[in-house]
Structure 1
Amino acid sequence: MFKEQGLILAALLGLSAFFSMAETSITTLWPWKVRELAEKESDNEGVFKMLRSDVTRFLTTILIGTTVVNIAATALVTEAATAAFGEAGVSAATGVMTVAILLLTEITPKSIAVHNATEVARFVVRPVAWLSLILYPVGRVVTYLSMGMLKLLGLKGRSEPYVTEDELKLMLRGAELSGAIEEEEQDMIENVLEIKDTHVREVMTPLVDVVAIDASATLVDFHTLWVTHQYSRVPVFEQRIDNIVGIAYAMDLLDYVQKGELLESSIVGDMAHKPAYFVPDSMSVWNLLREFRIRKVHMAVVLNEYGGTIGIVTLEDVVEEIVGEIFDENDSKEEIQKKTGYIVMRAEGIYDVDANTSIDQLSEDLNIKMPEGHQYETVSGFVCEAFGYIPRTGETIKLILERGNEDEDSNYNGTESDRADQNEKNQTFKLEILAGNARKVSAVRFERISDDVEIDTNEVTRLVPKIMTRKWKSNGGADRNNHDDISFMEGRDEDEDDSNNFVMAEREDSHDVSNKQ
């Protein structure tokens, strides 16, 4: 009698373990893996095709099977224990079955399924599919009841699993940590995922940095320009640089040379490819890449919402959003710095920053938080907003910025005892303009002021809106517009650019904290 009950119990526990493995393997499999297994099936009615089309049917069958066999096993043991030990057998059966179910039908089989999801799924999916046909009426009733419960709760059931972008990024991070892919590969794939949310204005070359040529210039001038900059494509404008009418290809110069035509008598406007391709600055980089492929062009002119030219964008700019900055042997150090920006640590807490450096890079390296919804992309824009105007070389300002690892609390109105804690969330910087002119800022020094130094609120010459977690309140009602009293440097040409006078000291002890150099 006990032998037969033992065999039945072993069979029930085995079935329970089977269902546990089936449930875990199916829920662990990523949807793209299920799709791959389904595509490999030659039969149109393959089990993985069934799983992909209706995973709820499989899970319902598994749960019904698990519930039935566990109840049956528990009832069998309880009956045998009661017959042998009386009422005390109920407690004994409960303890034994709890341990047995946990170890034999839950923890062990599910651990196996987690580490071998694909292999286990290949083994269990077909039997579960057959069983789902047998239990189809019961399964449909249970499914309808569960769907009704979901509707009552305001939820929607999904018949097909999917992978979200966050889940895919999580997979990539796991693959990188396990060594399956390199960190650079992970970055490239994530860049591809984010490229649809990147706009042309974020990757373009602004008009002030565009190298262009007048349509009335001769090909000798174009050749000279090419020798200087080595650009294969140059925008062609008429009268004003913001009136771009076409693109001149350096390769076309070879045709004129081979034909023996005089470069002095030919003008750029005649060889330019017209019209130029125009795109809005709000266009996504993904759509731009698609248009480049369709139109077979490598350069576009970027327009703002009013139709004004604000820059150019090239295929290389788009590719760099995926693979990172691309340089060749003709790129000088100055051109590389101008393109990528830099942050150089001169001493502890003192950073020399190129104004072209992205604001995200500045936030990361200096551990500061930028306000949400800010309209600037570079350090130059940040500095101009901080001053409230375009500062000149030598001007300084003190700012209180929120640390990057702290939560923003713009409504802070704490007591004096709370202000000490608030100071830990902020840090004070002294900004000094190292290079620039009346039109732009070229280089800035960020000097972190120690928390031990007491800062007179009158010395804080300007506060950046929304960067502060609270505004300083001076007892004397200090004037926050002290920058108006700063006199400009006299006897100086307004358009003179002294950015070239700023030279980074190439010291061996200088620590470059920018990972873009």
Structure 2
Amino acid sequence: MNWQAFLADHLGELVVAGVLLAGSAFCSGTETAMFSLSRGRLMRLGQAAGAGKLLAGMMKTPTRLLNTLLLGNMLVNVAYSALWAVLIIDLSQGGVPAGLTAGASVLPLVLLILLGEALPKTLAMTVSERWALWASPVVVLLQRALGPALWLLDRAAIAPISRLLLPRRRGPADITADELAAVMELSGRRGLIDRNASALLQEVIELSDLRLDDIMVPRVDMIAYDVDGDRQGLLDLFRRTRLRKVPVYKGSIDRVVGLIHAKRLFLEGEQPLRNLVAPVLFVPEAATVERTLVQLRVRRVQLAVVVDEYGGTAGLVTLKDILEEIVGELRIGRDEEQAPAVQKVSEREYLVDGDLAIHEWADAFKMDLSGRRISTVGGFVTARLGRIPRVGDRLDYRNLRFEVLAMTGRRVHKLRLTLEGQT
């Protein structure tokens, strides 16, 4: 028997094998697509009629859904393998050389791994939501068709083995920050909670994504004092700045040794400054704002010194900075009123502070400037120019034009932003 005769005699079986392979790919890809969706996305999909509601309903019983897909995949794989076994036996008995028969026996396994598993899973990860919505009606029918088998499998094997091997879950399942934010947004839209309260809660949730270098007072703006300096100089500093406490260092700002409180300095006479030093909390620059807030509360302090990866001083963060991030700028009185960081001049022109944080820029303009680790808009302009900016420098980026209006030392203080047109 030659190849042409074999294909002609077994064309129907080969077509069935292809259909079974497609069924295996469907089950594998659908499992990946559906179980890669977050609960937040499922909540949003569940608000729509049709496939989204079907999908959200099935994901309420994930064990049943998983068993359906696994059982369906197993059945088509067993049928696929059995069919190919019969075809290989016929091929070997038809006078085809043994080497070709051996090669043909490996082909079904390669096709199953590549086309039935690897490729559909990879594709499903890329377009998980579209795949899951497309597959939902088919999976519902599959659940109904396999209902009796699933019930028997669960009662006879899965449930007893799970009780023996798996500990009972105590407490609710973990929920991610994205899922909680989706709940808050949905609750606000439905009027279940006040919109302002919803926005406030979402700001709190976002603290887990913010790093300290997004909100800290940078090193160059820190007010600190040398612990070996004279007492009168520190008194003058307190009077001038009206701060309640100041970090003190020994020799260099990279060697912060603690804090001195104004009250203690005024009350405890002429003793050396080093005798007045109180401990200070040090936190890494890469720490999240959420974790730092917890540390501040546990230690019952309102200020922490931020250190970089080399142990040097990167800046400082206060409880007030974190609260401002949640509820907006805290204004103590009219004397502290400041111009907003973004001032709209016209429909296409804005004045922007150079120290505007990148995440605040994204909130204001709905646009990410860069994937690099840059904290401020002024830092972005400096990085793109590749040198210290000068007043009058211009930078074109996408449909934006930045013009440096003012510098403070080597830092960008004020920028003019012009929208040149949409790209």
- Whether TM-score is above 0.5 comes out as yes
Alignment of 1:64-143 (within 5 A): 141=152, 143=154
Is 1:380 aligned to 2:378, yes or no? yes
Q: Is 1:222–1:268's contact at 8 Å kept on the other side of the alignment?
A: no
Give 1:445's aligned residue.
416
Give 1:217's aligned residue.
229
The residue matched to 2:375 in structure 1 has which SS? coil
Give 1:430's aligned residue.
401
Give 1:195's aligned residue.
207
Q: How many pairs are equivalent?
A: 273
Q: CA deviation at 1:291?
A: 2.5
Give 1:269's aligned residue.
274
1:216-265 deviations in whole A, cap 9, x for unaligned? Answer: 33443333222222211210122222321110112213533xxxx3xxx4
Give 1:319's aligned residue.
323
1:29-75 deviations in whole A, cap 9, x for unaligned? Answer: xxxxxxxxxxxxxxxxxxxxxxxxxx97xx99xxxxxxxxxxxxxxx
Q: CA deviation at 1:367?
A: 5.0
Q: Is 2:344–2:351's contact at 8 Å kept on the other side of the alignment?
A: yes
CA 1:162–1:242: 2 relative to 1, 3 Å: closer
Q: Is 1:213–1:237's contact at 8 Å kept on the other side of the alignment?
A: yes
Give 1:349's aligned residue.
348
The residue matched to 2:265 in structure 1 has which SS? helix
CA 1:251–1:180: 2 relative to 1, 3 Å: farther
Give 2:295's aligned residue.
291
Moved more, 319-328 or 235-244: 319-328
Q: Is 1:391–1:438's contact at 8 Å kept on the other side of the alignment?
A: no
CA 1:167–1:238: 2 relative to 1, 3 Å: closer
Q: Distance in 2 between matches of 1:169 and 1:307?
A: 35
The residue matched to 1:245 in structure 2 has which SS? strand
CA 1:391–1:146: 2 relative to 1, 3 Å: farther
Q: Is 1:392–1:438's contact at 8 Å kept on the other side of the alignment?
A: no
Give 1:395's aligned residue.
393
> Match for 1:382: what amino acid?
F
1:338-392 deviations in whole A, cap 9, x for unaligned? Answer: xxx6111223311111101122333444454423x32112111111122111111
Q: Distance in 2 between matches of 1:175 and 1:285?
A: 25
Alignment of 1:360-371 (within 5 A): 360-371=359-370
> Match for 2:381: what amino acid?
V
Q: Is 1:230–1:330's contact at 8 Å kept on the other side of the alignment?
A: no
CA 1:320–1:220: 2 relative to 1, 3 Å: same
Q: Is 2:224–2:246's contact at 8 Å kept on the other side of the alignment?
A: yes
The residue matched to 1:243 in structure 2 has which SS? strand
Q: CA deviation at 1:192?
A: 2.9
Is 1:180 aligned to 2:192, yes or no? yes
> Match for 2:410: what amino acid?
R
> Match for 1:201: what amino acid?
D
Q: Comparing both structures, which one devotes a greater share of its residues to helix?
A: 2
Alignment of 1:237-252 (within 5 A): 237-252=249-264
Q: CA deviation at 1:394?
A: 1.8
Q: Distance in 1 between matches of 2:334 and 2:256?
A: 26
> Match for 1:280: what amino acid?
P
Q: Is 2:180–2:205's contact at 8 Å kept on the other side of the alignment?
A: no
1:111-138 deviations in whole A, cap 9, x for unaligned? Answer: xxxxxxxxxxxxxxxxxxxxxxxxxx99
Give 2:118's aligned residue.
none
Q: Is 2:258–2:278's contact at 8 Å kept on the other side of the alignment?
A: yes
CA 1:199–1:359: 2 relative to 1, 3 Å: closer
Give 1:332's aligned residue.
336
4+ residue segments displaced more than 4 Å: 137-140, 144-148, 158-163
The residue matched to 2:315 in structure 1 has which SS? strand
Taking only aligned residues, the RMSD between alpha carbons, in angstroms, comes to 3.6
> Match for 1:352: what amino acid?
L
Q: Is 2:249–2:255's contact at 8 Å kept on the other side of the alignment?
A: yes
Q: Distance in 1 between matches of 2:293 and 2:408?
A: 36
Q: Distance in 1 between matches of 2:179 and 2:287?
A: 27
Give 1:499's aligned residue.
none
1:160-186 deviations in whole A, cap 9, x for unaligned? Answer: 985743443233223222333223321
The residue matched to 1:196 in structure 2 has which SS? coil
Q: Distance in 1 between matches of 2:324 and 2:366?
A: 25
Q: CA deviation at 1:147?
A: 5.7
The residue matched to 1:310 in structure 2 has which SS? strand
> Match for 1:449: what amino acid?
E
CA 1:441–1:180: 2 relative to 1, 3 Å: same
> Match for 2:382: what amino acid?
C
TM-score by length of 1: 0.46
Larger Rg: 1
